[in-house]
Amino acid sequence: MNDLLLQEATELPQEKLIRRLCAALAAYLEPAQIEAVYRAYRRAAESHQGQFRLSGEAYICHPVSVALILAGVHMDVKGIMAAILHDVIEDTAITKEQLREEFGEEVAELVDGVSKLTQLEPKSRAEAQAQNVRKMVLAMVKDLRVIMVKLADRLHNMRTLSAMAAPRKRRIARETLDIYAPIANRLGMNQIRLELEDLGFKALYPRRYRILEHALKKVRGNRKELVSTIESAIKSRLQEAKLDCTVSGREKHLYSIYQKMRNKKIPFREVLDVYAFRIVTERVDGCYRALGLVHNLYKPIPGCFKDYIAVPKANGYQSLHTVLIGPYGLPIEIQIRTEAMHRVAESGIAAHWLNRAEKEQVTDSQARALEWLRDLLEIQKNAGDSLEFLDNLKVDLFQKEVFVFTPKGDVVKLPRGATIVDFAYAVHTDIGNTCVSARINRRLAPMQTALENGQTVEIVTAPWAKPNPLWLNYVVTAKARAAIRNHLRNFKKQEAIKLGGRLLDKELNALGFDREDISQARTDELLCAWEMSSLDTLLEDIGLGNRLPFLVAKHLCQKEGKSGIRHDEVEKGSFSPLIIKGTEGMVVNLAKCCRPIPGDPIIGLFSPGKGIVVHLNECKNVIGVKRQTNWLDVEWDSEVAGDFPVEIRVELKNQVGTLASVASTISKMGANIENVQITNQDDEISIDHITLLVKDRVHLAGIMRELKNLPVIERISRVKAELRKKT
């Protein structure tokens, strides 16, 4: 006995941890599997030799502690091995190929999925974080064990955060609360989520945490007697009905108390006035029987009952929730669920490993997790970059749910505040991209209508339809936002390629060439020199204003044997103007500072990333630009259709009804008023800036002539050269 005590006293911390891990694994793994885990431990210990954590302990203690957390949810042998080895690729000389040779493909892929991206050089810490989260999510889609290891890794890091400097501690805590705790919640892993939230709260707001912790300890003693009384009353009523179940009081976690205080703007005492209990039964019918019994014991509060058994949450959570008026008028929160539901509520997808009898079948929580991950995969495919993907992920994680129905009766879960457009994309991306209208409960409704629980939504589609950029102003789901952005991004790309082709052809024609005259070898040589993959990439660059078309034309023509090209001709661009209609799309924009309309003399400026911005020739924002090389001659097409915004300045007598007479005259002339802004006003004169939608310059002249005939008008002029920020 003394020898055993002496051995334990002289053991290193990592040796104690691996002994505890092997003991925990012995409860559900075979001896050969435990031997494989120990072999992984020896390899990790050897690789991390000489590395220490900020706390001073050997680094190997961290991965073994992560494995211990996973052993608590009965993670399989490959997952435990990956947990022990999860930092070797990132922090040691071991490669993925070496892991594959030693421990197999499965373990190597799991470790690689958890490892951060180290070979890239991101522009900022935010971009690095976004890239690593994106990589982790892609690995999650292939194997859910990746996120299990990552969450256990983050949990142990949060438990040992005290050794870090305050700024780094706050950054990690913020990342935990923003990303990892919500992911744990989305996957139904309630125990890990609650601990991550409390530890993150403690690290991010230590003073608030201490104050709330002290307040909770102070009131805890006063509550014990009342909690015991209510618990006894509920137990007695259930026993009288011969219903076999367990009843327990629940204490709210500090972070959930803090969130409720902030979100509902209520003081601490009002949060603590709610007493919470959980009833766990053997069967589903027992849940509904228990509900009836507690409703008979204490009166329920109307509107506070939720049936998550019939309609589970997105993460697979199932339970009955109700709020009752208890003794002394105090509200009582009650959750009622079965043992199986309780296991899923606490462990989520980890319940699959906890319940070995279900090892070969996909649990409901796993199916929902995989469905969510498939949506994430689509979101990441549509995201332009890692930062956009991370923003979409955060939107997707922080959501309360509404349940609506398709015309066939299928339930669709959406975040609270979701619109008809969100619903369309939730059903299928193609339906979202082609939807034109919708009916809610058989009545037509605007596309921005926010949906409510229980509604039936029918989407009307058309093959010619396409996403509207305005949808981005009100959609709330990450899937819809990513799909709309992706479509607009591709649409803009095609427009840019088309415009770039027109601009390049125009410049080549001015130099006596057609595009067909340029040899493929010369084109390939130029694309190689500029590191571009295809001609479309070059044309897109031209269309977006990132490259000047006459300079590209000059490079293409230099070696094609054309003589007589003068340098000054090339530098100032060609003489034939580009013909525009003003409706070319997102790569030809009309400047808001001078608002050109058909019939005006105009000039085009190349704006990097935007394409061409069209100004009036006399606009003060382009004075002197012809001395530069980023402009081109443009003209309006002889046949232009559509309405174009233009701004007029009107000085009118400050009398009752003057603005109404102005509006009536404008309407009579077939124009619409887009905006009215009163810039100056006194007892006699009001100076108004009115933005109209007109057909062309002739249409505007007719409107201004009619307005001048009104007796209330003192002076009228067009606003076309004010100095403003350049568009």
Distance in angstroms (rounded) separating the CA atoms of residues 225 and 384 = 57
Distance in angstroms (rounded) separating the CA atoms of residues 210 and 639 = 72
Give the CA count within 13 Å in the CB-facing half-sphere of 32: 0
- Specify the pairing of strand 631-636 against strand 602-607: antiparallel
Q: How many CB atoms lie within 10 A of CB 67?
A: 30
Tokens of residue 51, six digits: 């590395």
Are the beta carbons of 721 and 616 closer than 8 angstroms?
Answer: yes
Are the beta carbons of 393 and 130 closer than 8 angstroms?
Answer: no
Tokens of residue 276, six digits: 């919470």
Tokens of residue 501, six digits: 């082709």
Distance in angstroms (rounded) separating the CA atoms of residues 297 and 648 = 72
- Picking from 89, 68, 92, the residue whose alpha carbon sits closest to that of residue 80 is 68
- Picking from 318, 321, 322, 374, the residue whose alpha carbon sits closest to that of residue 348 is 318
Distance in angstroms (rounded) separating the CA atoms of residues 534 and 47 = 45
Q: Which residues contact 711 (CB under 8 A, 6 or more apart)?
A: none
- Picking from 622, 647, 648, the residue whose alpha carbon sits closest to that of residue 726 is 622
CA distance readout (Å), 334 to 249, 320, 599: 9, 8, 72
Q: Which residues contact 136 (CB under 8 A, 6 or more apart)?
A: 113, 114, 146, 147, 150
What amino acid positions are annotated as catalytic residues? 90-91
CA distance readout (Å), 488 to 384, 387, 543: 11, 18, 16
Radius of gyration of the chain measured on its C-alpha atoms:
34
Handedness of CA 426, 431, 432, 438 (dihedral sign): negative
Give the residue carrying structure tokens 């690789």.
Answer: 47
Distance in angstroms (rounded) separating the CA atoms of residues 76 and 422 = 38
CA distance readout (Å), 459 to 454, 477, 586, 707: 16, 17, 28, 45
Rounded to 5 degrees, what are φ and ψ at 442? 70, 10
Tokens of residue 465, six digits: 């339809």
